[in-house]
Chains A and B, each alone.
Chain A
Amino acid sequence: MSRRNAWSGMNAADITIDQVRAGALQLDDVRIHPDTLIAQADVAAEYGNQQLAENFLRAAELTALPDEQVMAIYEALRPHRSTAQELATIVNALKAAGAQRNAALVAEAAQIYAQRGLLRQD
């Protein structure tokens, strides 16, 4: 992979133990950049795994979400956790964050959960 820039913009090649020592390094400096995931998706597709590519593209979108939100959406997608309305809210939030593929995934889940009785009944 040619692209080595972290989420923060720092180039991975520039990361040194001295920065760790100085307390100058943050987790964002060792966090993957969405462009890298998009490039990895291209590699996966080129090697014939469209589903892995799709996963990397969803992941690229999720890089923008804070850890807590990622964990909260996962929790919401578990069976009998969310009402149709709650899932719709998540879909909208994902769309607003530019996470179209994840929004589609959650929208699809909402549809199937309704069919299979996996929504939370209040």
Chain B
Amino acid sequence: MTIGRYRFMNEQPVNLDGFAAVNPDLGLIAFNSPNDPAPGLDIDDGRVVFMDGKHQAQFDIVDEFIARHGLDLTVADEAMAIDDATYAHMLIDPGVSRAECVRLAGGMTPAKLAKALSVLRPAELVMAVTKCRARKTPSNQAHVTNRSDDPLLLAADAALAAAFGFREIETTVPVLGDAPSNAIAVSIGAAVGSPGVLVQCSVEEAMELEMGMRGLVSYAETVSLYGTEQIFIDGDDTPWSKAFLTSGYASRGIKMRVTSGGGAEALMGAAEGCSMFYLEARCVALARAIGSQGVQNGGIDSASVAGSVPGGAKAMMAENLMVMLRALESCTGNDALMSESDVRRTSRTHPIFIAGTDFICSGFGSIQRYDNMFGPSQWNAEDLDDYLAMQRDWGVDGGLRTPDEHEVARLRERAAHAVRDVYAILGLADFTDQWLAQAIDAAGSKDVPDADLMTPLTASRLIRDTKVTMLDVIAALDEAGYDIEAQRMLDMLIARVSGDYLQTSAIFDESMHVLSAITDPNDYAGPGTGYSPSLQRQVQIDAIRQQQSVLDISARQLQHANSRLSVIGPAQRSDDPRDVVIGVSPATGQAIWQTLCGLGVDQGLDELLAGLEEEGCVGRIVRFTDTIDLGLIGLQAARMSGSGIGIGLQAKGTALIHRRDLSPLANLELYSVAPSLDRAAYRQLGLNAGRHAKGATPQPQRNPYSDEAIEARYHTKVVALVAIERQFVDGSSPQQLELDQP
């Protein structure tokens, strides 16, 4: 029989996750499997003849390609001889440049680099990533997909993603045939949202290349590498086919990166007993060898496998660092959702987020979880505000910003209209007004019941059959009057001519400048150096839409203003034993009219007075303006009242019962959680004050604490309301107030 505490713990989301016992034979081990080879490298006459435990004759296709093309043999002797801890130390020493770390990594075999990086502790990984990423300015990538491949919704969501700051957008399809339509719709939407946003459509390799050649996408990412020969072949490729494909993209001026990730081999059942990190070290060495400018890794599709073993989250971040040390663009996972637990997924991302990388997420689901056709991401539309708040909390540039809500609404409308007009001009599809309106407003595809599933399929067939290119799309956009967007999309094509965005870690800023390892190199060399957000960028990070100033809160109070409270004259002491004074705070009825629970201050007073009356007492309202301290207000009220019992009430709602012979902080009853109070609570407070006045027994109230983060919700308001109260402290003598009938 499970005890209650464990029944309760078992229900927590983290217990939906799988946790695997270490099993090296199945590849279920993050670092240092007993089967990982010892690092080793022998060179004979300029050729690698032995590498990581294998002689040349035993090389599989991965070894072979790395041995032939991947290593800088001129530094190999020096690099292989370095002690692991010494190299790890260099990675975090701000006195050792990134270039030097990269130079030495060039001569390290996969096993050597894996072993050296396994020395690093988590905080050291953060330091090493901060220094070693290629591009100085961090950025982020979004997924934009939906269940219906709805072109209008794709466009609206792409515009939104661009407005939130994503510099790359990845789309894909639930239905392969829809790919060209998706690529066009997302490209148009992205161009509406911002200049210079790169767009890819992740599908099978050959189809993706074909779309790139027709200008329908501006980069590619789904070029998978694997750490063992068997899985490579299962993936229907070889290092040579991938190397050729890589050049194929470059030959058309299209940016490309490859994909790998720890745990993939274990997931596919052919890890050869090796650790995830060693196998990933092979992938990354291969990525460099085939001439890819970058890698998305860090678990990726197998993130939950990597996350299931001890040290898994650390290994995923170390994978990213390995990419940086091979001098490649690092698109740092945080892609497929690795846990049902919000705590675990945040924990997995956070070190990468604070260090900053070329792309924090290789797919932040900017759409809702259910619309993500890659499967839910580590971060999703559900988390956009969380992520923005995290940026603000840490002063960190995670690549996103807070756009103006009205501007986002305008962009969504424009993007959806633009796609409708372009599809009409190109004869691809007609969309109803109702569909259009639903897509613009939709929070997700469930809000677009009018979306017709045949439309994208038909449009895509027409795009392929009639060989529509992006130039045709641009001409149609222009014809429909979208001059700005047509120019932005043309600029993306023109960028192919100069090829500057083929270099490592390239993105475009909003002025179409290429930011890359060449033009924007990471120059971190210790505190005060490296990337720091510009003043303008810092404002974008800090000014989230939820932030409130004292002025905002004052203005909101003003909306509840009424004139029920009026001054009668100076307050006097009473001798009536039934008299109970309700002392109210300085701003009551002057600048604060509503308490934190949403009740009018006057309504709270109604209840207090009614409660007192029920007990045969007479309430009298007195405003004190010499203090904002509730204890003092209550005590002064008690001293002024004939019964010797006083109620203190702050305008924000906090209340207490006091007695004239007590010290200020030693009150009789305190109702401290103002946001949780209600009419009934104030009535009970009035009743109890009356009973205290009569010497009867009051009814104890249960403390209204709950599991809500009451302080997080209300403390910002409290600070503002207290500041407002203080403005009304003038030391004048207390005044008696009258409460008119509502």
Contacts and interface: CB of A to CB of B under 8 A. Distances in A.
B72 interface: yes
Interface stretch (B284-292, B578-586, B613-621): B284-292
A121 interface: no
B70 A51 contact: yes
Interface string A84-122: 000000000000000000100110110011001010000
Nearest to B245: A74
B194 to A, nearest CB: 18
Nearest to B497: A12
A70 B499 CA distance: 19
A30 B246 contact: no
B497 A36 contact: yes
A51 B291 contact: yes
Contacts of B69: 51, 54
B215 interface: yes
Contacts of B60: 116
A49 B251 contact: no
B248 interface: yes
Interface in A21-59: 21, 23, 25-27, 30-33, 36-37, 39-40, 43-44, 47-56, 58-59
Contacts of B474: 17, 20
B64 A112 contact: yes
A20 B497 contact: no
B471 to A, nearest CB: 6
Contact of B236 (A5, A31, A49, A78): A78
Contacts of A43: 503, 518
A103 B500 CA distance: 26
Nearest to A53: B291
A48 B74 CA distance: 12
Interface string B498-524: 111011100000000000011000000
Contact of A52 (B106, B475, B504): B504
Contacts of B394: none
A75 B251 CA distance: 17
A17 B367 CA distance: 32
B206 A108 contact: no
Nearest to B247: A58
A118 B65 CA distance: 15
Contacts of B293: 52
Given A31-B497, A52-B293, A116-B229, A79 B237 contact: yes
Contact of B210 (A54, A71, A77): A71
A70 B479 CA distance: 34
Contacts of A70: 209, 213, 248, 251
A87 to B, nearest CB: 10
Contacts of B556: none
Contacts of A31: 252-253, 496-497
Q: How large is the interface on A (under 10, 10 to 19, 20 to 34, 35 or more residues)?
A: 35 or more
Contacts of A79: 232-233, 236-238, 241
A14 to B, nearest CB: 10
A74 B499 contact: no
Contacts of A106: 240, 244
Given A55-B291, A62-B248, A75-B206, A36 B238 contact: no
Contact of A30 (B72, B497, B503): B497
Contacts of B518: 43, 47
A61 to B, nearest CB: 8
A44 B243 CA distance: 17
B499 A27 contact: no
Contact of A1 (B229, B245, B471, B498): B498
Contacts of A48: 99, 102-103, 106, 327
Given A51-B69, A55-B291, A106-B240, A71 B251 contact: no
Contacts of B249: 59
B576 interface: no
A55 B238 contact: no
Contacts of B498: 1, 3-4, 12, 32, 36
A88 to B, nearest CB: 14
A12 B292 contact: no
A17 B487 CA distance: 7
A27 B504 CA distance: 25
Interface string B292-332: 11000000000000000000000000000000000100000
A21 B215 contact: no
A81 to B, nearest CB: 9
Contact of B253 (A26, A32, A47, A49): A32
Nearest to A56: B250
Interface in B461-509: 469, 471, 474-475, 478-479, 483, 486-487, 490, 493-494, 496-500, 502-504
B54 interface: no
A47 B517 CA distance: 9
B537 interface: no
A47 B502 CA distance: 14
B348 to A, nearest CB: 30
Given A30-B496, A36-B497, A59 B251 contact: yes
B214 interface: yes
Contact of B244 (A23, A39, A74, A80): A74
Contact of A77 (B233, B244, B487, B500): B244
B690 to A, nearest CB: 80
Interface centre among A26, A32, A33, A118, by most B CB within 10 Å?
A32
A18 to B, nearest CB: 9
Contacts of B490: 15, 17, 20
B61 interface: yes
A79 B236 CA distance: 6
A59 B499 CA distance: 11
B560 interface: no
Nearest to B57: A115
B494 A30 contact: yes
B248 A20 contact: no
Given A31-B253, A43-B518, A108 B240 contact: yes
Given A52-B504, A58-B247, A40 B292 contact: no
Contacts of A3: 498
Interface centre among A25, A63, A79, A105, by most B CB within 10 Å?
A79
Nearest to A16: B490
Nearest to A60: B251
Contacts of B564: none
Contacts of B290: 51, 55
B68 interface: yes
B234 to A, nearest CB: 9
A50 B500 CA distance: 17
Given A17-B478, A37-B499, A55-B292, A116 B248 contact: no
Given A20-B475, A79-B233, 16 more contacts: A17-B490, A30-B494, A30-B496, A32-B499, A48-B106, A50-B72, A51-B70, A52-B291, A55-B250, A55-B290, A62-B251, A67-B252, A74-B206, A109-B240, A113-B238, A113-B240
10 contacts: A17-B487, A21-B479, A27-B214, A52-B503, A55-B292, A58-B244, A77-B238, A79-B238, A105-B243, A118-B238
